[in-house]
Structure 1
Amino acid sequence: MNLSSRLAEVAQQLPDKEAYVYEGERCTYGELNAAISKFASGLRNIGIQKGDHIALIVGNSPHFVIGLYGALRLGATVIPINPIYTPDEISYILTNGDVKAAIAFDLLVPLFAKMEARLPQVEHVIICETPQGKEQGISLTKKMKSFTDILLSGDVQYEGPTLADDDTAVILYTSGTTGKPKGAMLTHKNLYRNAQDIANYLKINEDDRVIATLPMFHVFCLTVALNAPLMNGGTVLIVPKFSPAKIFKLAREQKATIFAGVPTMYNFLYQYEEGNPDDFRTLRLCISGGASMPVALLKNFEKKFRVIVSEGYGLSEASPVTCFNPLDRPRKPGSIGTSIMNVENKVVNEFGEEVAVGEVGELVVRGPNVMKGYYKMPEETAHAIRDGWLYTGDLAKMDEEGYFYIVDRKKDMIIVGGYNVYPREVEEVLYSHPDVIEAAVIGVPDPNFGEAVKCFVVSKNPSLTEEELIDYCRERLAKYKVPSSIEFLEELPKNTTGKILRRALKEKLTSSQA
């Protein structure tokens, strides 16, 4: 069983049940399954074959759902990409990921037109129309095709080739500590089993109506708010862009039962003055992930809106969920919960030996959800997966009841509104500026987004300003990676080997604020 075949099975059992609701548009499982088959067949008609790589560069929309499941039914490998990435970021993934076709919103047509010369391996760019694109009168190049035309050209009876459990279904690019993203290869088995295991754990069923406002290209939403409900006959309430007003209105009008978000979203919902607890009266569960949720926020949110918030833990390499606070036992604020079914978590020392209860070590994971490896990175794969265990790089501890707690995140990683930002990635951009001699990046607390990117720079040009350097970064980095502030120093603190000490910068910042 895989995502595509299970959706076809649900469509046969519940053809008239709502699969998704989007901007007032309702689509049944029967209609969705037909569209998926037609789109898969349409892709085959233009030469896409099993094993080919297709980039999916669209936001939350029916295009994403049909594009994802259509490509999977054909046996293609899907590479979801954040649409707000810069041309350099998108180009790297398209090239490194050996992408043959890309599905993108029409607003990205100018970007693809500029990149065509340096992306010869991308044979097709399938364009999804948007109201904004129509207003701008965007015209397509010869390499571009209409999503609608591909869909209409397909055969509704198309079932696709036989898929093996170990075939790569999705490659998720995650920021690498070296500054270059790594592609985590997730198999059909990885994605299907994690979607079903978390659905069983949280009792997601056909009565649930799940708000999908997290980005679908992010694995948290992909598995928890999209795949899990679709595998079990639930209804996905697709939200193109998060806003507190829209969430309260949607929850009330659509009688939502589950909301999934990152702590930043919960903070915005809690702070929204017009937020009415009665709007959330049908919610049976709120799910939080992507970053640790402050206990005070969790308790205040639950008290105000009279709904349980369950925290969990996951990472792209594990499809992503490994732990969640259980619904049939006491929930522990500050904990990421217990191992979900079929997944093992344990805390080990530097020798890979399990440590005693309450001791801090590295969290490692084993289960059917763990990736097959990093695309074209055998050494990185061997480092991440040892003796069948995925080494997360996160420091954790476990209590006597099997609840896990994250003590610290991956070394130096910054989490901005639930998105991972690696300092090296930002530093690479800063170092590319002709006036920058040295640069170091750290995360600092931010009331709205959890953390923000703070930079320390040594410049050879005394007239270089913070604003100029931030503008430089804005042209080369996705919005959430752009520094919120830059401080110029005469020199950066280093150890005896010349390595820049980020910890010293954090201590300096803390002492200056005291």
Structure 2
Amino acid sequence: MRLHPPQQVERFTSGGWWTGDTVDRLFREQVSARPEAVAIVDPLNKPSLMDGPVRRLTWAQLGAEADRIAAVLLEAGVLQGDVVAVQLPNSVELAVTFLAVARIGAVVTPLPVQYREYELAQVIRLAAVKVFVTAERVGDRDNAEIVRRLEVPAPPIVLAWGDPARDLETAIADPAMLAAHLKGLETDPNDCVTICWTSGTEATPKGVPRCHYDWFAVESNTTAAPSLTGDDVVLNPFPMVNMAGIGGVFLPWLRTGFQMVQHHPFDLLGYLDQITEERVTYTLAPPALLTMLLRNPEMLERYDISSLTRIGSGSAPLPPWMVKGWQERHGIAIINFFGSNEGIALLSDPVNIPDPEERARFFPRPGVPGGAWPGTLAATRVKLVDPVSGEEITEPGRPGELHLSGPTVFAGYLAGTADADPFDEDGYLVTGDVFEIDGPGGRYLRYVDRARDLIIRGGVNIAPAELEALLAGHPAVVEVAVVGYPDEVLGERVCAVVAPRDDVDLPSLVDFLKERGIASYKLPERLEIVEGLPRNAVGKILKRDLREQL
């Protein structure tokens, strides 16, 4: 399945933004160059996730494992271009399966372990899944049996790690079959290699096919921003099912050959243990966690994090004081990422934006003279569009929806999974994210909010993300979401939904915001206290659920 049209391929290959790299080519290069180096380490709590030993594999061992599973997949009937669904926790087995599927030129659709019968049946049908690889047990769930019992038109073959009948841990197939297949295999970087699924915060998940070309254009940025090398030890706490896990860790791992330490599900004490024991140099973490750790220095004092030099964060606005605090107290640079499965890949790194508070607030505005940005951002073009008039916005301080074009952008949704064309008349991806032009000389973009999350109070737009970033600094707030609720007079009013650390009330939150000089029309008029915010399978807050509750 070739994804991008020939003129697109010519444009980005001639400019050097797309190369001949493929997942399997980079993998084989690392196996050859670093055979005895440790490639991957299992999470400490693996026995609670699935059957099988906790493993630490070298690149040579990983290569042999991937070849073995590739032969098993061929024996099961998988051909080039066939779709293989993989539902596994972050583990050695997940990486082995992913690499084995790519080895034979098939397509992997990685699924969050939280998916149940409803989502699994949808994915199997929409992606025409031929083989489904999982674990016999995922946590306390008999996952392989659940998949086998699904009532779908064309049931996939189910292969399972820990299967009593044929455990993938020890399964052997004829290696001559793999050799013969590889001899006749021709892989093009424009071939589809993954089908990821959108988070589904507002609707049924959409399939996002990605090829080697656009994935490695993303990787160019996520490797360059933290200056990753083969000497790094990287702790990966994000499921390898979407942009964060695949684009942020898996592909940079194949590019550089660093040691990848898997973590799943997120457990704070286990996470800090792994940083200490593995001497981790780089990791990823959500803003709420970084804020909490900065406010609880006594917790960090029990662990040795001296090896850690930088942390990638994103998915929500970063409080400037938090980014500054990590740099000043611990000498750790926070890299601000803004990405999507469809191909947004904006980031603010400490080399090009050394001021930590600016790095928290701003993203590059590609195409503006005087900007020097890492990776493929130089080939990216953006425009802000007024959502009402359709006019392109070129002046600072005026919110507009981000439209984006470049080598990181996908070719379009999987057939049958989206109703609308995601591109505008100029071929730019319509992101649904609202930004403003900001900073000295208009060199930066400042995130405002998701277009669908904007609150319209009395005809005036209010960005929840702005309020959330400020309220995250309140000492009694662990995490917060701001949403609108219906009002007969104003249309909507503002509600803060807070998971608190200590007692907190609405007047204290309002006073906290007033002290920061915020406009009075943005102040929340309602407070809801919750134990925790609802999140989807990849950790995004389900604001739809909160709005429905209100």
Bin for the TM-score computed over the shorter chain: 0.7 to 0.9
Tell me the distance in 2 between the aligned counterparts of 1:34 and 1:448.
49
Residues 113-152 of structure 1 aligned to structure 2 (within 5 Å): 113-114=145-146, 116-129=149-162, 145-150=166-171
Contact 2:225–2:335 (CA under 8 A) maintained in structure 1: no
Aligned partner of residue 332 in structure 2, secondary structure: coil
CA RMSD, Structure 1 to Structure 2 (Å):
3.7
Q: 2:404 aligns with which of 359, 365, 378?
A: 365
| In structure 2, C-alpha distance between the alignment counterparts of 1:443 and 1:184, rounded to whole Å | 33
Per the alignment, residue 408 of structure 1 pairs with 449
Equivalences for residues 33-432 of structure 1 within 5 A: 33-107=63-137, 110-114=142-146, 116-129=149-162, 145-150=166-171, 154=175, 159=182, 161-176=185-200, 179-270=203-294, 273-276=298-301, 279-318=304-343, 321-331=345-355, 332-338=358-364, 339=366, 340-343=374-377, 344-350=380-386, 351=390, 353-377=392-416, 380=419, 382-384=421-423, 386-399=425-438, 400=441, 402-412=443-453
Q: Which moved more, 1:57-66 or 1:243-252?
A: 243-252
Alpha-carbon separation, structure 2, partners of 1:126 and 1:354: 52
- For residue 15 of structure 1, report the CA deviation from its aligned partner: 1.5
Task: Give the Cα–Cα distance (whole angstroms) in 2 for the partners of residues 268 and 315 of structure 1.
Answer: 25
The residue aligned with 1:453 is none
Counting only pairs closer than 5 Å after superposition, residues 7-46 of structure 1 correspond to structure 2 as 7-22=27-42, 23=44, 25-46=55-76
Task: Quote the offset at 1:43 in angstroms.
Answer: 0.6
Structure 1 length normalisation: TM-score?
0.74
Greater mean deviation of Cα atoms: 177-186 or 339-348: 339-348
Question: Normalized against structure 2, the TM-score is what?
Answer: 0.70
Count residues with an aligned counterpart: 433
CA distance change for structure 1 residues 301 and 244 in 2, over 3 Å: closer, same or farther?
A: farther
Aligned partner of 1:148: which letter?
A: E
- Matching residue of 2:16: none
Deviation, 1:154, is 4.5
- Corresponding residue for 1:495? none
| One-letter amino acid matched to 2:145 | A
SS of corresponding position for 1:316: coil
For residues 447-487 of structure 1, the C-alpha deviation after alignment (integer angstroms, 9 at most, x for no partner) is 489xxxxxxxxxxxxxxxxxxxxxxxx9xx86968989999
Cα drift, residue 111 of structure 1: 5.0
1:383 partner SS: coil
Name the CA shift for 1:75/1:277 in 2 (closer, same or farther; >3 Å). Answer: same
The whole-number CA distance in structure 2 between the counterparts of 1:103 and 1:3 is 19
Contact 1:10 1:233 in 2 (8 A): yes
Gaps of 5+ in 2: 1-20, 45-53, 367-373, 455-463, 473-480, 484-491, 502-533
8 Å CA contact 1:349–1:355 kept in 2: the answer is no
- The answer as to whether partners of 1:58 and 1:104 remain within 8 angstroms in 2 is yes
- Distance in 2, matches of 1:377 and 1:484, equals 25
Unpaired segments ≥5 residues, structure 1:
130-137, 424-439, 450-473, 488-501, 510-514
Q: CA deviation at 1:10?
A: 1.8
Q: Partners in 2 of 1:90 and 1:11 — Cα distance?
A: 34
2:201–2:542 contact (8 Å) kept in structure 1: no
Q: Are residues 392 and 478 of structure 1, via their aligned partners in 2, closer, same or farther at CA, if it must alter by over 3 Å? A: closer
Aligned AA for 2:363? G
Kindly provide the CA deviation profile for residues 397-439 of structure 1, in whole angstroms up to 9, marking residues without a partner as x. 233362221111241399999xxx9x9xxxxxxxxxxxxxxxx
Q: Percent identity?
A: 20
1:18 Cα deviation from its structure 2 partner: 1.6
Deviation at 1:211, TM superposition (A): 0.7
CA deviation vs aligned residue, 1:264-321 (integer Å, no higher than 9, x gap):
3324544554222862211121110222223333334444433111111111101x52
1:310 and 1:99 mapped to 2: Cα distance?
36
In structure 2, what is the Cα distance between the partners aligned to 1:336 and 1:164?
36
Give how far 1:188 is off: 1.5
3-state DSSP class of the match of 1:34? helix
Deviations 1:48-80 (A, max 9, x none): 011111111111001110111111111111111
| 8 A contact 2:125–2:153 mirrored in 1 | no
Cα gap change, 1:99 to 1:387, in 2 (>3 Å):
same
Alignment deviations for residues 87-113 of structure 1 (CA, whole Å, 9 cap, x no partner):
212221222221111111222574553
Structure 1 residues 229 and 177: CA distance shift in structure 2, 3 A: closer
Instruction: Write the distance in 1 (CA, Å) between the matches of 2:541 and 2:395.
Output: 41
Cα separation, partners in 2 of 1:169 and 1:352, compared to 1, 3 Å: farther
The 5 A counterparts of 1:469-488 are: none
Q: Secondary structure of the residue that 2:137 maps to in structure 1?
A: helix
Aligned to 2:25: 5
1:192-239 deviation per Cα after TM superposition (whole angstroms, max 9, x unaligned):
222133212331111111110111223202111222122111111111
**Structure 1: which amino acid aligns with 2:269?**
A
